[in-house]
Structure 1
Amino acid sequence: MQESEEIIKVGISIGDLNGIGAEVVLKAFEDPRMLEFCTPVIFASNKTISFYKNHFGFSMNFHGIPEASEAIDGKINVVNVWKDSPEIAFGQATQTGGEYAIKSLRAAVEALKAGLVDVLVTAPINKKTVQSGEFKFPGHTDYLARELGGDSLMFMVTDTLKVGLLTDHVPVKDAPSLITEKRIREKVLAMEQSLIRDFGVQRPKIAVLGINPHSGDDGVIGKEDDEVLKPALRKLADNGHLVFGPYAADTFFASANSRNFDGVLASYHDQGLIPFKTLSFGKGVNFTAGLSRVRTSPDHGTAFDIAGKGVADPESFKEAVFMGIRIFRNRSEYEELTRNPLKKHKLKRSPKGMD
């Protein structure tokens, strides 16, 4: 593992070839100051990156390499994952676009597991076109949970707002049945641990949103909150965890109460992501907490409707890079602190301490 003062190597999967992934990646690193923060290692090919560079009129140079181990600091490194020239059809959901997105992702994950890159930032994929006999996952999160291990948590984060999900990419009709006492405990503990080691919060306070409207209104609008969610939260609270709720989701983010918590756990995808993206779109980051490695991504999708037009905003991708670096450094410091308890006082007093 690198010391915190060294340049962090950021592995980047290129996403769907027909979306805005490559555009936001190259726009981000068109600013040479980005190379002062990290060394980008893009998993694609020289030919493919040259196509995007010419199409969008970018002026930066890049360094083609056969393996991630040959990445050079101060350069935009491109690992040649493939040698052919796949067809790029901006704005179209094609099997080719999905196939090469997964080739890039697999190569990036292998480099991450091998320690050749420190952080993984993934550009958006199309969940339908990536499906194949070898890849049957609803998105990045489930695939990375298998490859990297740990209890994964889809965690949407900014500096001031952090929203995790009890259930993520599942049909709304299936969400209540998946919310069990075991899952509630796992997700609360995953969020708590991430807030401690990844964000430096010593005693995290977590709010949990109800499953049903008005958290069930004492059983009038569904019994899941009373029968499953409330008892599980009581057990966690009795064991010393600062977990509160369930709160009615319709007013939670509109009230000042939401600012009293370090993290918010939503019951299902849209319950958490609609308010998060409304409040933070373009600045938010999708972080997969609970894994053995750090992975982030921008808070948007492939945006086929604007792909190839040169108008995609790279800010969320940049935030994903910066957030990944910060989390990596925080986690490295936390692991050093817990590995060497005698250094705890020194670390707490350092500018980059866990306070």
Structure 2
Amino acid sequence: MEKQFLDYLDSEKKIINSSVQNYFQQAIQLEEEPFLREFLSFGQYFIVQGGRRLLPISLKNTFMGLSSEKDILEYSEAIYNVSISIEMLHVSNLMIDDLIDKEEYRRGNKTFHRFIGDKMTHLNQVDLEEYAISSTIYGANIISLMGSQIIKNSKFDSIRKEKALVLYLNGMLGMSRAHLLEEYYKQVPLEKINLENYLILADKRAKQMETAVGLGAVFGNARKSQMGPLMQAMNKIGIISQVVNDIDGSFGKKVDKKSLDSDIKSGQSTILTVVAYQSADKKQKKILNSVLGNRNATSEEINSVREIFQETEAVNFATIYSNNLKNDVYRNLQRVYPGFRKEIMNFYSQLLGYITDYKD
């Protein structure tokens, strides 16, 4: 990955983090309830402490790639401010994800339910757990809806804001739908789950990318001829991100104190588990059935699942599938007419390389 692109992402992240901090500081000042002011402080800290900001950066670049020179000049600051809406939606999903999956760490720090629970040292274990669960669920709802408020209060005209709000809410619906199905499929026998089911579950990431870029396109006054192929390309980028995350979830580097065993222990329907089970022999299926979803599985048992992922060529399949999707993304982006500015096409090309190279 080119250092210049990494430096660019870092500089954009700093600008977006500044917008996040400014937004929360204003929200804290306006909030009258002491506990909710404290909650907003938790939210600000949790969002700013880590993350790559790829969604708001993609939103901003899409706007820059499709807008007129007049709009770029007029809304150069407003687009950064409104870009944090998609980060709110993204973070609200992470909060719920970590809670459901019983994750202890996110981005090198405690997950939201752990962090907010640590403040209640006077509670017993049962009450503390109930408090952390309820606070995280309702808090995630608040943060996702704050994203819609950011759009509503932005400096763009009412027509664009109305279109953006519809797109944002559709994105929220699509992500919630995918998360609900993910929980359902944890209870479904592996032999009944296929690649088509997996792609539905991958919508939890695909919808985020679609929504981010869709918002940038709406604010950039994109034409219908541009929106169709653009959204198809972003859907595929989201799926690629999920596939890469699935591979790294079992074979990546152990970073941020997050266990590489968590996907296997929680019984996630990753592309590796779906493909491996379809290709496994009777003995391998017996191991998969006994280990996947078993939170008490030993390191030896978990490593046996990793071996099956490799023996059944599931890892190779996932890698090839991801590369094929990358080619589809380029073809879809070429169909955007009128097309992006050259520098924005270059951004998406480098973004794809970054997503597939990055170890989360």
More strand by share: 1
Larger RCO: 1 or 2 (CA < 8 Å, sep 6+):
1
More helix by share: 2
